[in-house]
């Protein structure tokens, strides 16, 4: 009997090919024979196949009526090529840490600081990013990784056409012993409004994701508010088996921290527009990916020298990644860089246009739900047209790691390096090295907690100015209803500079409500 089953199954799959070409899912139900070992029992198995030749084995519903109900309510998910592949259909992952020059959403700063006034990134952002890099699909909960979010009010989203939309808004109030974040800062109160919305396509092939978020912090003492905003559209095209196209367009706005040497003449408003396009090709044991991109940066509001930093950074990159099932999958990546400033420099001003490169060697780590992510290190250099300024070069490091020691506890770690232009005379620019580590624990369906610490060090080449920011955070989230949760958070910030009269520290406590669908 067992042999007959294996002979019949290929015929069934061949017979279902016309149905698959029609685009609809097909369910096959049957009984596996009893095993010969003691205690083995026959059990009913449901095999689902989809239009792309995808299949999987799912737990059986008790009745036909329950089966139909599960399909209608989505309890049986759509086929996922990363989980239910009957035939090989590799989608190369082209976008990973360390493959591009520093650019991106203003909110993706972890706890390490970036020299700009932006909200601390949510714990779940790094978890979700690593999930996408590993091509696991679904949500972190599906892979057994706790993403720091309360489960009782887990976002389900709204189905609008072929998209799932996730709206969210947070409103918090708080107090600080240094509301100005300055040497002579005084205590005061503040309020924070943070709306966001994310939309993802539900297409069987290709994927389009849209994100938009913002924040507005206002102060009771009449200080200027701190706004920030970010938006991104990302598109993945599954062109052919083993060939994937990627594209993205992003915008971010934030204010530069008034404590940095860069904003001595007043805090700058920083606008960035990022565009990139790329292709990834599976070549068997190696995946090759190429990218082209540009980052447009505009500075305003910080004095007459602000616009001197307006520039566009172009990059062209190539990456070769090992395409195996090993835990460690090495890669090597290189970028050619070209930076062009807007102003025509004539007379005594500095010629800050540059050409350069970025070379990195790293590895992806995929140990299932226990440890995943990537680590990279290398060297980056920008050769400025003005030889008197020297080169802007240094060691670069990048990492996004997720460690899940238990299903209720997750630890994330990150490293980042960014190169920033400057208008300070005698300096080629600044380099920011940053790192953070965060831990989240699930105390139950309604209660989640987090602690974390981060540090960043900014060096101005040619001037000997060093700035260090240390941040600590502890927070709790309690789900009140299916859509609302209470949040409380304590944050500590310490800033130190090699320049006299700039050091300060700050303690702040805030609490509020988060509403999401």
Q: Which pLDDT value is given to residue 144?
A: 76
Query: What would the pLDDT profile of 299-356 be if each residue is shown by its tens digit?
Result: 887 555 566 788 999 999 999 999 888 999 999 999 999 999 887 665 556 788 899 9
Q: Is the residue at 86 inside a domain?
A: no
User: Is the domain of 175 the same as that of 63?
Assistant: no
User: Is the domain of 60 the same as that of 203?
Assistant: no
Which residue from 364, 386, 389 is spatially nearest to 374, judged by alpha carbons?
364
Do β-strands 188-201 and 328-341 pair in parallel, antiparallel, or remain unpaired? unpaired
User: Is the domain of 48 the same as that of 180?
Assistant: no
* CATH code: domain of residue 233: 2.40.170
Q: Which pLDDT value is given to residue 142?
A: 55
**Residue 462 and residue 429 in contact, taking contact as beta carbons nearer than 8 Å:** no
Q: Read out DSSP for 147-202?
A: -SS-STT----EEETTEEEEEEEEEEEEEES-TT-STT---EEEEEEEEEEEEEE-
Which residue from 470, 471, 510 is spatially nearest to 489, judged by alpha carbons?
510
User: Is the domain of 512 the same as that of 460?
Assistant: yes
d(CA 155, CA 484): 10
Give the 3-state secondary structure of 321-377: EECCCCCEEEEEEEEEEEEEECCCCCCCCCCCCEEEEEEEEEEEEEECCCEEEEEEE
Q: Is the residue at 99 inside a domain?
A: no
Torsion of CA 103, 104, 106, 109, to 10 degrees: -80
User: Is the domain of 44 the same as that of 134?
Assistant: no
d(CA 83, CA 63): 25
Q: Is the residue at 471 inside a domain?
A: yes
Measure Cα distances from 500 to 231, 261, 453, 496 in Å: 37, 11, 25, 9
Whole-structure pTM value = 0.77
Q: Which pLDDT value is given to residue 331?
A: 96
- Residue 234's SS3 state is strand
> What is the token pair recorded at 354?
């540059």
DSSP state of 17: H
**Residue 261 and residue 458 in contact, taking contact as beta carbons nearer than 8 Å:** no
Q: Which pLDDT value is given to residue 181?
A: 84
407 CB contacts (<8 Å, ≥6 apart)? 144, 146, 442
DSSP state of 285: S
DSSP state of 60: P
Measure Cα distances from 160 to 163, 165, 202, 237, 260 in Å: 5, 7, 10, 21, 44
Other CB atoms closer than 10 Å to residue 279's CB: what's the count? 18
User: Is the domain of 182 the same as that of 247?
Assistant: yes
Q: Is the residue at 458 inside a domain?
A: yes
Q: Is the residue at 106 inside a domain?
A: no
User: Is the domain of 16 the same as that of 152?
Assistant: no
Query: Which residue has 């994701």 as its token pair?
Result: 209
Q: Which pLDDT value is given to residue 342?
A: 86
User: Is the domain of 297 the same as that of 391?
Assistant: yes
Q: Which pLDDT value is given to residue 102?
A: 38
Q: Is the residue at 155 inside a domain?
A: yes
- Of the three residues 56, 73, 90, the one that is the final residue of a domain is 73
The parent domain of residue 37 ranges over 2-73
- Of the three residues 38, 56, 73, the one that is the final residue of a domain is 73
Q: Which pLDDT value is given to residue 281?
A: 96
Q: Which pLDDT value is given to residue 344?
A: 67
Q: For the chain, 517 residues long, give each residue's pLDDT as a single digit of tens.
A: 444 444 444 444 334 343 333 344 444 434 444 443 434 333 333 344 443 333 344 444 444 444 444 444 444 343 333 333 233 333 444 444 333 433 333 333 467 666 778 888 889 888 888 887 776 544 444 567 899 999 999 998 999 999 999 999 999 999 999 998 888 888 999 999 999 999 999 998 899 999 999 999 999 988 889 999 999 999 999 999 999 999 999 999 998 887 788 776 555 789 999 999 999 999 999 999 999 999 999 988 755 556 678 899 999 999 999 988 899 999 999 999 999 988 766 555 678 889 999 999 999 999 988 899 999 999 999 999 888 888 899 999 999 999 999 999 999 999 999 998 888 888 888 999 999 999 999 999 999 999 999 999 999 988 889 999 999 999 999 999 999 999 999 999 999 999 888 899 999 999 999 999 8
> What is the token pair recorded at 486?
């209470």
> What is the token pair recorded at 128?
């979700």
Measure Cα distances from 365 to 92, 246, 371, 403 in Å: 15, 22, 7, 11
User: Is the domain of 189 the same as that of 63?
Assistant: no
- Of the three residues 14, 45, 73, the one that is the final residue of a domain is 73
Q: Which pLDDT value is given to residue 12?
A: 40
d(CA 1, CA 357): 64
Domain count, the chain: 2
Q: Phi/psi class of residue 132: alpha, beta or left (left: φ > 0; alpha: ψ in -120 to 50)?
A: alpha
Q: Which pLDDT value is given to residue 348?
A: 56
Which residue from 136, 124, 102 is spatially nearest to 514, judged by alpha carbons?
124
Q: Is the residue at 432 inside a domain?
A: yes
DSSP state of 65: H
Q: Residue 513: enclosing H or E segment and its boundaries?
A: strand 504-516
User: Is the domain of 199 the same as that of 53?
Assistant: no
User: Is the domain of 206 the same as that of 276?
Assistant: yes
d(CA 265, CA 274): 27
Separation of first and last alpha carbons in the chain: 51
Which residue from 194, 156, 154 is spatially nearest to 174, judged by alpha carbons?
194
Q: Is the residue at 158 inside a domain?
A: yes
**Residue 133 and residue 373 in contact, taking contact as beta carbons nearer than 8 Å:** yes
User: Is the domain of 498 the same as that of 356?
Assistant: yes
> What is the token pair recorded at 59?
């737990």
d(CA 152, CA 103): 35
Phi–psi pair at 363, nearest 5 degrees? -150, 145
């Amino acid at each position: 009997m067992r042999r007959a089953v294996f002979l019949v199954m290929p015929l069934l799959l061949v017979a279902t090919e016309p149905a698959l070409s029609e685009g609809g899912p097909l369910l096959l139900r049957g009984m596996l024979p009893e095993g010969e070992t003691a205690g083995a029992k026959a059990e009913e198995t449901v095999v689902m196949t989809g239009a792309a030749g995808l299949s999987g084995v799912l737990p059986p519903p008790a009745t036909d009526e329950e089966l139909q109900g599960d399909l209608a309510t989505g309890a049986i998910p759509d086929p996922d090529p990363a989980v239910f592949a009957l035939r090989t259909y590799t989608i190369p992952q082209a976008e990973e840490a360390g493959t591009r020059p520093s650019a991106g959403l203003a909110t993706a700063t972890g706890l390490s600081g970036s020299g700009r006034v932006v909200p601390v990134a949510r714990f779940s952002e790094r978890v979700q990013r690593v999930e996408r890099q590993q091509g696991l699909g679904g949500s972190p909960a599906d892979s057994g990784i706790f993403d720091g979010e309360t489960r009782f009010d887990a976002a389900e989203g709204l189905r609008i056409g072929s998209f799932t939309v996730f709206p969210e808004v947070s409103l918090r109030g708080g107090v600080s012993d240094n509301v100005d974040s300055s040497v002579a800062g005084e205590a005061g109160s503040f309020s924070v409004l943070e709306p966001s919305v994310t939309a993802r396509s539900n297409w069987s092939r290709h994927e389009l994701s849209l994100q938009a978020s913002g924040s507005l912090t206002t102060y009771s003492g009449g200080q200027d508010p701190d706004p920030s905003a970010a938006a991104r559209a990302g598109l993945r095209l599954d062109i052919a088996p083993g060939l994937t196209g990627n594209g993205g367009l992003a915008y971010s706005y934030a204010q530069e921290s008034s404590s940095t040497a860069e904003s001595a003449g007043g805090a700058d408003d920083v606008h960035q527009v990022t565009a990139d396009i790329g292709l990834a090709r599976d070549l068997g044991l190696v995946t090759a990916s190429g990218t082209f991109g540009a980052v447009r940066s505009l500075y305003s509001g910080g004095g007459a020298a602000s616009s001197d930093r307006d520039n566009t950074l172009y990059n062209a990159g190539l990456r070769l990644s090992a395409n195996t099932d090993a835990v460690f999958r090495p890669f090597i990546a290189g970028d050619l860089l070209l930076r062009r400033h807007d102003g025509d420099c004539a007379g005594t001003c500095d010629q800050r246009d540059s050409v350069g490169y970025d070379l990195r060697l790293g590895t992806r780590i995929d140990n299932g739900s226990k440890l995943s992510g990537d680590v990279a290190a290398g060297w980056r250099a920008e050769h400025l047209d003005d030889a008197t300024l020297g080169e802007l070069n240094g060691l670069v490091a990048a990492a996004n790691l997720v460690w899940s020691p238990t299903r209720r506890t997750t630890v994330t770690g990150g490293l980042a390096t960014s190169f920033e232009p400057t208008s300070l005379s005698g300096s080629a620019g600044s380099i920011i090295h940053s790192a953070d580590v965060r831990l989240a624990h699930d105390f139950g369906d309604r209660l989640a907690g987090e602690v974390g610490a981060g540090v960043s060090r900014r060096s101005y080449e040619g001037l000997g100015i060093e700035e260090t920011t240390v941040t600590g955070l502890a927070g709790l989230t309690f789900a009140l209803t299916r859509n609302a949760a209470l949040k409380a958070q304590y944050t500590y910030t310490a800033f130190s500079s090699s320049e006299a009269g700039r050091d300060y520290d700050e303690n702040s406590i805030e609490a509020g409500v988060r509403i999401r669908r």
